[in-house]
Every structure is written in structure tokens, then in C-alpha cells.
Amino acid sequence: MIYTVTLNPAVDYFVELDDLKPGQVNRSRKEHKAPGGKGINVSRVLKRLGHTSQTLGFIGGFTGDYIINTLQEEDITTSFVQVHGDTRINIKMKGTEETELNGTSPEITPNHLAQLIDQLDQLTESDILVLAGSVPGSLDDTIYTEWIHRVKKNGVKVFLDTSGHPLIDAVEAAPTFIKPNQHELSELVGTEINTPEEALPYVRELTAKGIDYVFVTFAGDGAVLGTKEKVLFATTPKGTVQNSVGAGDSTLAGFLAASHKEVSLEEAFRFAVASGSSTAFSKGFCELSHVEELMEQVNISELK
């Protein structure tokens, strides 16, 4: 079973406006809401791609109820730990540019934390654990690192998608998979990375630490996937970006979905990139038929 952990879920509130004018009353043209948070997005995309998963993490209040109800309507199993405050609301504004305002997490107590750790301790070597998103302020930045060490003892494979200190710390614990974007990789290695070629030596360093898959995305400028054996480059399909929220989560979900079918590394890479782009070119998340269509535009080569 695939388990996704979202420590800090969100109701994503999408607002479309002509232009965002700071310091003025702005009025939206259109709005909608959706359950959000990186692990939850991975579960929702997996479902669209025909795979089941279970969502874990902390949730609370009326916003939490909305997330749970919507996921259950989509036939996704939820096993969140209930906390006392309200799950945050993240505002995603689309004017001439995309602007995001992500909220803070409700407080997570030691008791809540212990409940989630109990769930993680049930996982076994046939399970995959996705740890995705920011770490709430009431938890330690090293939490992903501790959990990677803990569940690896039981043979669990860990897919990690986070940024900043939690990522810098966790690479030393060698998760199975990481998916930094170009900026997150730059922060991780302490050097600005502008091109896939510049990423190559750092991707090699990371795989040498024992990370099986290092997947670096460059938005519409391609992606890099490194393993111990080789480092691949993929072009991204061309199209009009409608919404980049969840594109990276769709890439991760696409890679998981393809890997479950035991296809070649190249095919899994192609499917993952097409999944990310399908979401970027859609109002919501990707659809399988669109992903398959876009795969034809993804060209893979080896970086040397």
C-alpha cells in the first residue's frame, strides 16, 4: 500500500482576477476550492491514474472536515490524526502572474505526534511512504529524517518531497526518492543551478549518498532523473500553463504509478514528466488519457 503523509494539509482556495493590486480592494472573477497539501495531492492524482493509497497526517476543524469529506467522496481512504485547531487555508491567486499565500499549521501536540508515529510503525517492506510538504512550526525540522531512519528499519521505501532545512537534513538519511525543483536543489547544494547540465554533478553526489532516485524538475525546461547507474534528461511537453499548483505532486504520483507497473526507468520518467505537464496544462489535476497523449512529446536522453 502507498501511504501519503501531509503534516500540514490545506484547503486550497483558488482565486482568478484580472490583476493583483496590492494595497487595494481586489475582486475575483472566479473562485473554487479543493483539498490541498502535497501528500493529499499525490493521493488524489494517484487515484486518477488508477492507484489506491491512504492519506495520513494531521487535520482539524471545519476545513479538516471539508478535506476528509471530499477525499472520501473520491473514494480515498483517510486515516488522519485529529488536532484541535483548524487546518489552514492557502490562497492561490491567478492574475497576470500566480501568487500564493500559504497559511500556518494548527498546533501539533506530543500526543498527536505519538499517534502518527504509531501508524508509521505498522508499515512493512511491502509499503511505500510518501512524506510531502512543509513541516508545521510546532514540530522539529528533523522529523522527516527521524522517520526515514525509523521506517527504513522495517524495509519501507520513502519518497520525500519537501524543501529547505527538512530536505537538507533528510538527504543524509537516504530516502528512496527525492524530487527537488531547480530552486530547492540550489538551496540543498548551496550553489545556484540554472540548467540540467549544471545539476548533473550534484545529482551524482546525491545518488552516491544512497538515494535511489534523484528527480529534479525545471518547470517547462525539462527534468533530470538520476540513479546510481545513469542520469537521464527529459524534455517537457509544450502547452499553455493553466495552473502550476500540484504539478510537482503530479510528477511524483506519476512516477509512483508507473513504477508500480514495473516499466523501464525511461518509461517511468516519461510518464512522470507527462503527468506533471498534464496538470500544469489543466485547471485541476491531470487525466490519464491526457498524460498518455503528452508522453509522445517527452524525449529522453542520457546526460554524461
Ligand X SMILES: Nc1ncnc2c1ncn2[C@@H]1O[C@H](COP(=O)(O)OP(=O)(O)OP(=O)(O)O)[C@@H](O)[C@H]1O
Point out which residues bind ligand F1X (CB under 6 A). 8, 10, 12, 36-38, 41, 90, 102, 133-134, 245-246, 248-249
Q: Which does 12 bind (CB under 5 to 8 A by kind): ligand X, ligand F1X, none?
A: ligand F1X
User: How near is the Cβ of 35 to ligand F1X at its closest, in Å?
Assistant: 8
Nearest distance, CB of residue 183 and ligand X, angstroms: 7
- Number of Cβ within 10 Å of residue 29's Cβ equals 10
Shortest approach of ligand F1X to residue 155 CB, angstroms?
A: 27
Residue 273 interacting entry, from ligand F1X, ligand X, none, C-beta within 5 to 8 Å by type: ligand X
We find the least distance from the C-beta atom of residue 248 to ligand X, in angstroms, to be 2
Beta-strand ranges (E) seen in the chain are 2-6, 10-16, 30-36, 54-59, 77-78, 81-82, 88-94, 98-101, 128-132, 157-161, 177-178, 213-217, 223-226, 231-234, 300-302
- For the chain, give percent helix, strand, coil, nearest 5: 40, 25, 40
Closest CB to ligand F1X among residues 134, 207: 134
Positions that interact with ligand X (CB under 6 A): 181, 217-220, 223, 236-237, 241, 244, 246-249, 251, 273, 276-277, 280
Nearer to ligand F1X, 90 or 182 (CB): 90
Q: How many CA atoms lie within 13 A of 270 on its CB side?
A: 15
Q: Which is nearer to ligand X, 33 or 149 (CB)?
A: 33
Catalytic residue of the set 12, 127, 169, 249: 249
**Rounded Cα distance, 273 and 259, in Å:** 13
Query: Which H or E element spans position 267?
Result: helix 265-280
Judge whether 213 and 177 are in contact, CB under 8 Å: yes
Q: Cβ distance 128 to 157 under 8 Å?
A: yes
Minimum CB distance to ligand F1X smaller for 226 or for 246: 246
Active site residue 249: yes
Residues serving a catalytic function are 249
